[in-house]
Chains A and B, each alone.
Chain A
C-alpha cells in the first residue's frame, strides 16, 4: 500500500515533469506532439477536478440549507441558480439562442461587469488611505502617483501642450512614460527574475520529490 500511496505518485510526477522539460527544448515534431498530448490530458484531468469541486459545492450548500445555518438563504439562491443553468444547459444545449446562453449573456455577464465596476470605487478608497505623505518613501509614491494619474488622461496631455518645446522634458506624459519605463520597469524586471528563479527551484523540488506536501502526511 505504501508503494501505491507514496511511490507511484512520485514516479508519475517525476516522469511527467521531466518529459515536459525535455520535450520543451527539443525542436522536433514528435516532441511537440507529446506536449500537445499532455495538454489534452491536463484538460481532461481539469474537467474531473471541476467535477470534484461541484460535488463539494453542492454538499456544502445543501447541508447549510437543510440545517438552516446562518446565511442559508444565499445558499438557496446559489443552488437554484446552479440547477437552472445546469438543467438548461443539459436539456436545450449551450449554443447561441438557447436559454443557457441567454442567461449567461443577460445575467452572468452584467453581474460580472457590476462587480468589476466596483474596482473604481475601491481604487479611490485605497488611494485615499495609502497616499499620505507620512514619510519620504510615501511622499515619493504620492508624487509619482499624481504624475502618472494626470499624465495618463487627456487633461495631462492638455496641460503638457501649454509648455514650450524647450521644456518638453517636463511634459507630464513624457515624465509618465519615463517613470513607467525606467524605475518601474527596472523594479518589475528584478521581481520577475527573482520569481522565475524561485519558480524553477519550487518546480524542481516537486519534480524530484523533495516537496511532498501535496500528497498529505504519512
Chain B
C-alpha cells in the first residue's frame, strides 16, 4: 500500500498537481476476495468515477467489478495476466490489454528507451520460440511417417529438456 501511495504521489507531482494529492485516496479495503469486491462495487456506485482501470491479477471478481462499473457508465480499461478472466474483461470493458500488452503498456506510453529495449528483447525471443516451435512440430510430424534416427534423437533431447 505504501508503494501504491508513493506511485500515485509521484504521478500527481509529474502532472504538475502535487497539492491535489490526498494520501487517503489510496487505502486498504480487505484481504478477502468478495469483501473487497463488494466494497469496490459500492464505491463505484456511490462515487461514479469517470474511468475505471482494472490492472493486475483477478479471479472470480473480475466480472463483478467490470459489470458494476459498466452500470455506472464509466469508461473501463482492463489488463490482466489471468487467462481465465480475459474473456470477461473483453466482454464487459471498453478496452482490454491481453497478455503481454499489460506489461508493454508502460513502454508504449512513455517511449522510454530502456523499456522499449526490454519490449524489443521479449518480441525477439518470442520470434525465436515461434521458429523453434514450427521446426519441432515439422520434425515430429515427419518422424511419425519416416522414423528417421536423427529426428528421434532431436525429439528425445527436447523431451528431456
Hey, which bits of chain A sit against chain B, CB under 8 A?
49-50, 52-54, 56-57, 59-60, 63, 70-71, 74, 108, 111-112, 115-116, 118-119, 122-123, 125-127, 129-130, 188, 190-195, 197-199, 201-202, 205, 210, 213-217
Contact = CB atoms under 8 A, between A and B. Distances in A.
19 contacts: A49-B1, A50-B31, A60-B24, A71-B46, A108-B35, A111-B38, A116-B60, A126-B70, A126-B88, A127-B91, A191-B86, A192-B83, A195-B99, A198-B100, A198-B104, A201-B103, A201-B119, A213-B10, A214-B6
Interface of B: 1-3, 6-7, 9-10, 13, 24, 27-29, 31-35, 37-38, 42, 46, 60, 63-64, 66-67, 70, 81, 83, 86, 88, 91-92, 98-100, 102-104, 114, 118-119, 121-122, 125-126, 129
B34 A194 contact: no
Nearest to A50: B31
B103 A74 contact: no
Given A57-B29, A197-B100, A126 B64 contact: no
B126 A194 contact: yes
Residue among A111, A190, A201 with max Cβ neighbours from chain B (10 Å): A201
B10 A217 contact: yes
B43 to A, nearest CB: 9
Contact of B99 (A71, A119, A125, A191): A191
Contacts of A123: 63
A111 B38 CA distance: 10
A78 B3 CA distance: 25
A129 B121 CA distance: 39
Given A126-B66, A202-B103, A217-B6, 6 more contacts: A122-B64, A127-B91, A192-B99, A201-B118, A215-B6, A216-B9
Contact of B122 (A52, A118, A197, A217): A197
B118 A205 contact: yes
A54 B28 CA distance: 7
Nearest to B41: A115
Nearest to A190: B99
Contact of B103 (A111, A112, A199): A199
Contacts of B10: 213, 216-217
B158 to A, nearest CB: 16
A119 B60 contact: yes
A215 B104 CA distance: 21
Nearest to A74: B42
Contacts of B129: 193, 197
A171 to B, nearest CB: 24
Contacts of B24: 59-60, 63
A115 B100 contact: no
A56 B98 contact: no
